[in-house]
Structures are given as structure tokens and as C-alpha cells.
Amino acid sequence: MNRRTLLLGLSGAAVIAVAGGWIATRQGAGQTGFAVPAMAEDAPAADLLPDVPLGSPDAPVTLIEYASYTCPHCAHFHDEVFGALKRDYIDTGKVKFIHREVYFDKFGLWAGLIAQCGGTMKYYGIVDMIYGTQKDWIGDGKEQTISDNLRKIGLKAGLTNEQLDTCLKDQARAEAMVTTFQKHATDDQIEGTPTLIINGEKYSNMSYEELKKILDAKLAG
């Protein structure tokens, strides 16, 4: 697909409606690019959701990943890079990792609602499940298929149907998620996913070997 859009007005299985217009997107070489609305620049900081950090808060390197649950390159990054990154740098206290969700479409937003439904303790476990089974839960691309499959992920993660109903109908949360995405993506001038911000410097998608060289250089000072 060469062109994708982020639908800010949602309906259907998520039963939510969020304010705003459309974000036009395009797919480039090895990445999916998009334009962030200017209105996001004026979002008050008080309206933004907090990041969910993984790793030591005192780590000398902070790595922020901007990623979309419906982006194949993001799923590949988590399959091929994130595991080693976590083992070698996050779990050893060298890197603090932050995953920031990007919403190209309503399905990505639904996935985000599922990921955030379990709170900070379950967040990264559900994130891993969503990326690890991306092709399976997207399936035939139909709303009901995707809704049902995302529910199955939530249930497998230990959430109840009642919890999932509440999360998927949470209009205020959905609005806050979109506002937070727009504000951060505008501030960091994000043009595609996955994009990495390492101690304030922006990098595009890369292999683990390339990332390791950058992290080692940052750690060496």
C-alpha cells in the first residue's frame, strides 16, 4: 500500500469518536512517512499522557522509539532488534527505553487502546504480543476480524472482557492518545516509522549491529 491515512474520527468495533481531522501518510523507501497536523503544536502539556519507560531511570542513554502497530517495519524491528537491545542494554541498566505509539489508522489506535489497557505493568508485554503477531491479528483486514483478534490478545494478556470493553469505549483516553502522539511527533519532527531518538539525536530504522555501534559510542562518551 503506497498511501495510508490516520483516521481521527472513529466508529465501528472500538465504539469511540475522537476529535480532529485526517493525517495523510505515504510509504517511502523502507519506511512509512506521514505529515503531522499543525494543530498538535498547541496541545497543552497537561493533556499529554506520560511515557512508559523501560529500564533504569538512571541509565546514561535514553532511546525513544516512534512506532506504529500496523507498520511492518516496526514489527520487524521488534522481532529482529528489540530483543537483543533489551538483553544487552535495557536489562543491564545502560539504556532507558521509551515506546511512543504512532497511529496511521484506526486499527493502530485500537491496538494502542489494548496495549495501554493493562496499565504500565502489562504495557510492554502486550506491546510485544501485538508486534509479534501483527500479520495474524490484522488477518483479512476487516474491522470485525481485527477487533476480535485484538481482544484475543488482551484476554491472553490476562485482561477481562469487561476491562477490554471499558478501554475500547474510552473516548477521553483515545483523544488523549491522539493528542499525545501528535504533539510528540511534531516536536521531534518525526517523518516515518520506526524512528529512534537517542539522547536527543534522531535516527531512522536500522539493524541491531548499526544500533549497537551508536549506543556503544554514546556510552563511551
> What are the tens digits of pLDDT across the range 9-59?
333 333 333 322 223 233 333 343 333 333 444 555 557 999 999 999 999
What DSSP line would sit under 170-207, residue for residue?
Answer: -HHHHHHHHHHHHHHHHHTT--EESEEEETTEEE----
Judged against a pLDDT cut of 70, whether residue 138 lies above it is answered with yes
Task: Supply the pLDDT for residue 12.
Answer: 33
> Cα angle at 115 between 112 and 121, to 5 degrees?
145
Task: Tell me if the domain spanning 53-220 has CATH number 3.40.30.10.
Answer: yes
* CA-wise closest residue to 178 among 70, 31, 22, 27: 22
Task: Supply the pLDDT for residue 47.
Answer: 77
Q: What residues does each domain of the chain span?
A: 53-220
pLDDT in tens, 150-202: 999 999 999 999 999 999 999 999 999 999 999 999 999 999 999 999 999 99
